[in-house]
Amino acid sequence: MSKKWIWLPDWASDLSLWEDDLTDADASADHVFVPYETMAANLGNVYAIDGMPKAETVVGWGLGALLLMCAQSKRPKLQKWILLSPFADFCDEDGPWNSENILFKAREMHGSKNVALDAFKDQFGEEFSDWPDEWLEAAQKMDPDSLAEGLRFMVQNRIDRVIENGDDIQVLYGRMDQDVTPAMTLKLKEFLPKATFKERPKSGHWPPMMLF
């Protein structure tokens, strides 16, 4: 297993926006930031992405974390997971979205993509300076089919059983996260009994604030 970190983004997100900050998590490692479209092309098996089976550490943010948990059977025994703002059910009653909302947004990706993306940006609120604007600018450039497929995946898939091979998993979440609320993340304790959960009191949904 190589000293490589692979970073899986949240829906419609580009983690390389914060590359300079995030690579400080292990300055001696090789860091690979998977593009959203690449991840979306492998929703059924995230371990089909090049390098995934041999990476020492995989960081999954939001949807990226869900994909890791859905592919638990393919996880190498010595691989570490860091899950940022993970959830068992994106349409949970403790969150801001229900399945009807999300499926409507998926349809909006064809014809009204920017309107739909604005609604997700609004959910972030005014937190942390320019990051929501940077997120939106990157998301607007993404393929609408990939965006719609990611939304449908989050409606159709949830974690409802204990994750086997659950050692060496760290869960980080922000107290001020309005997109994936702390209550949503904490419901994963039932399914990740061996994981370490850490709340970041000053963090919202953004990875640099959760990691450091």
* 127: confidence class by pLDDT, cuts 50, 70, 90: low
For residue 203, give the 3-state DSSP assignment. Answer: coil
Query: What is the layout of strands, in order, in the sheet containing 196-200?
Result: 30-33, 2-8, 55-61, 80-84, 169-174, 196-200
Q: Which of these CATH numbers, 3.40.50.1820, 2.40.160.60, 3.40.50.300, 3.90.470.10, describes 2-94+148-211?
A: 3.40.50.1820
pLDDT digits (tens, 9 = 90+) for 177-209: 999 999 999 999 999 999 999 999 999 999 999
* 130: confidence class by pLDDT, cuts 50, 70, 90: confident
**Which of 37, 53, 48, 77 is closest to 4 using CA atoms?**
53
Q: Among all chains, which residue has been given the structure tokens 């059977």?
A: 73
Q: Using the predicted structure, report yes or no on whether residue 126 has a pLDDT greater than 70.
A: no
Q: What are phi and psi of 83, to 5 degrees?
A: -105, 120
Measure the CA–CA gap between 182 and 188, rounded to whole angstroms: 10
Average pLDDT of span 27-54: 97
Contacts with 112 (C-beta within 8 Å, 6 or more apart), sequence order: none
Can you give the C-alpha Rg of the chain in angstroms? 16
For residue 11, give the 3-state DSSP assignment. Answer: coil
Q: Using the predicted structure, report yes or no on whether residue 17 has a pLDDT greater than 80.
A: yes
∠ at Cα 34 (28, 36), nearest 5°?
150
* 125: confidence class by pLDDT, cuts 50, 70, 90: low
Q: Using the predicted structure, report yes or no on whether residue 85 has a pLDDT greater than 80.
A: yes
* 166: confidence class by pLDDT, cuts 50, 70, 90: confident
pLDDT of residue 164: 86
Residue 163: what residue type? I
Task: With both helix axes pointing from N to C terminus, report the angle between 131-139 and 113-124 in degrees, rounded to the nearest 10.
Answer: 160
| H helix or E strand, kind and range, residue 22 | helix 19-22
**Which of 148, 147, 152, 153 is closest to 135 using CA atoms?**
147
pTM: 0.96
Contacts with 36 (C-beta within 8 Å, 6 or more apart), sequence order: 9, 11, 12, 13, 14, 142, 146, 150
